[in-house]
Amino acid sequence: MSKVTYFSGESFPLEMHKVRIIQKLTLLPIEERLRAVEEAGYNTFLLQNKDVFLDMLTDSGVNAMSDRQQAAMLTADDAYAGSETFTRLHAKLSEVFGMKYFLPTHQGRAAEHILARGFVKPGQIVATNYHFTTTKAHITAQGGEVVELIEPSGLSVTSDEPFKGNVDIDALTNLINERGAENIAFFRVETGTNLVGGQPHSLSNLRAVSHICRRHGIPLVMDASLLADNLYFIKTREPECADWSVADIWLAISQLCDIIYFSARKLGFGRGGGIVTDDLKIYESLRAWVPMFEGFLTYGGMSVREMEAITIGLDETLDEDMINQGPLFIAHFVDEMERRGIPVVTPAGGLGAHVDAMRFLDHVDQRQYPSGALAAAVYLASGVRGMERGTLSEQREPDGTEPLAHMELLRLALPRRVFTLSQVQYATDRIHWVYANRRIVGGLEWVEEPEILRFFYGRLRAVGDWQHALVAKFREDFGSSL
């Protein structure tokens, strides 16, 4: 992707790839979308793909593969143990991360499972810039406590701060002084901070975190699932790195960490995951969990085809024309929404565009899940499937109280290389329409609330009858069901 200036003076992202395989989409009439969302318990995770027009739920495992990735998949070497495919993936990981050892897992959360088992003892703390849903579930399942130390700007929805994922260094020092380094199982830095809008951290902030962790003997673990976007933001927003190659920034980051894990459903345009480290002791201490929970050490639950795809995908991540595709598309989406007055998270981050449901539906009580309601309303109005990232995505405390999320966001993920600008334009237009009619939209309430990771499969219903009013207004305004 590059950003070109048109003769008119306007500037737009331009794809540096062409589409050679397509998948047909259907846009259902709004009455059918109403049926689908009711069947899904107002939870966009429970929608059937056949009922979805543009799937902006996630970037996980749904990024478009390249011709090179598909070609490599045909050369995969199938073997339970010692496959050439694994050797190639391992070599590529060593090259990009500069770390010798690799433990494969079937996806990112499986790496979290192993790290939590290996490091977290009951009562211990895992400090982090910001938690992620599956990470927190694994840490608390081991009896650990997650403490968030993101800089205050990370939690303000609109800001000019380029690195809203940065760690608050004073807060880290205070935590160590108050609770003791020996009670901190590890520090987890999440690159491209998912739950606060795909916001990056800077290289210099990571340096400061690493320095403190090393001084106190606290292992520094990076969740590198969203590293590609963060690399791009470091290159474009951190003056020190403007002339560095992506590969150099990547290595500089790795050198500051003791352990790095990732979801290859995001990093590497494939499906899988793993843990890398340069420390033999750490590798040996975690190794036994892989054959026990994932699969043998040379596949860890991944198919050989996916491993080939990831190897090439990592290579493509070093290509600036490739990694800027996500951020430039997202920035365009965010700008277009902002121009229409729709409240969004700024600056634009990675992963997707994030709509601020707290401002969008400021008449809906946070206990009635405004971002869940907005996700359902946007699906109704457009067939676009986004994801709730707010209070629904939180977990109740052991005593049953419900923590309210810092932010109520509707995330519209842009899987890489999948959508066109006209599709982004359509989504913007329909969200604009919902915004113009936002007073019609009400809240949600539980029908079935699971105890763990409730947002994945819990079922809700509309409070009142706002969904029918929204459908009626749609028909009136557009004169059709589409």
Residues with catalytic annotation? 80, 132-133, 223, 266, 389, 455
Task: Please state the closest distance from residue 263 (CB atom) to ligand PLP, in A.
Answer: 3
Of 108 and 372, the one with the shorter C-beta distance to ligand PLP is 108
Binding residues among 164-223 for ligand PLP as defined by CB under 6 A: 190, 194, 223
For 37, residues 6+ apart whose C-beta sits below 8 A from its C-beta are 47, 376, 379, 380, 467
Give the binding range for ligand PLP (CB under 6 A) out of 9-17, 132-140, 397-405, 442-450. Answer: 132-140
Task: Please state the closest distance from residue 134 (CB atom) to ligand PLP, in A.
Answer: 5
Rounded Cα distance between 318 and 449, Å, is 42
Tell me how many residues contact ligand PLP (CB under 6 A).
Answer: 16
Query: Of 13, 219, 268, 273, which lies in the binding site for ligand PLP, with binding defined by CB under 6 A?
Result: 273
For 199, residues 6+ apart whose C-beta sits below 8 A from its C-beta are 154, 163, 164, 165, 192, 193, 345, 349, 350
Residue type (1 letter), 139: I
Task: Please state the closest distance from residue 57 (CB atom) to ligand PLP, in A.
Answer: 12
Query: Of 86, 119, 130, 132, which lies in the binding site for ligand PLP, with binding defined by CB under 6 A?
Result: 132
Of 260 and 441, the one with the shorter C-beta distance to ligand PLP is 260
- Short-list 429, 443, 444, CA closest to 362: 443
Of 60 and 366, the one with the shorter C-beta distance to ligand PLP is 60
* Burial (CB count within 10 angstroms: exposed 0-12, middle 13-18, buried 19+), residue 344: buried
Query: Of 265, 389, 416, 454, which lies in the binding site for ligand PLP, with binding defined by CB under 6 A?
Result: 265
* Position 263 contacts ligand PLP (CB under 6 A): yes
Residue type (1 letter), 422: S
Two tokens at 23? 């998948």
Rounded Cα distance between 116 and 139, Å, is 5
Binding residues among 101-120 for ligand PLP as defined by CB under 6 A: 107-109
Task: Please state the closest distance from residue 337 (CB atom) to ligand PLP, in A.
Answer: 22
Of 219 and 273, the one with the shorter C-beta distance to ligand PLP is 273
Task: Please state the closest distance from residue 103 (CB atom) to ligand PLP, in A.
Answer: 15
Of 457 and 478, the one with the shorter C-beta distance to ligand PLP is 457
* Position 34 contacts ligand PLP (CB under 6 A): no
* Position 134 contacts ligand PLP (CB under 6 A): yes
What single string gives the DSSP state of each residue in 265-281? TTTTSSS-EEEEES-HH
Of 34 and 195, the one with the shorter C-beta distance to ligand PLP is 195
Task: Please state the closest distance from residue 226 (CB atom) to ligand PLP, in A.
Answer: 5
Q: Residues 235-265, buried b or exposed e (16+ Cβ, 10 A)? A: beebeebeebebeebbbbbbebbbbbbbbbb
- Short-list 205, 256, 253, 206, CA closest to 228: 253
- Binding characters for ligand PLP, 356-395, by CB under 6 A (x = yes): ----------------------------------------
Distances (CA, A) of 453 to 132, 135, 136, 369, 395: 11, 11, 10, 15, 7
Quote the Cα angle for 80-84-86, to 5°: 70
Phi, psi of 178 (to 5 degrees): -80, -40
- Binding characters for ligand PLP, 45-64, by CB under 6 A (x = yes): ---------------x----
Give the footprint of ligand PLP on this chain (CB under 6 A): 60, 107-109, 132, 134-135, 190, 194, 223, 225-226, 263, 265-266, 273
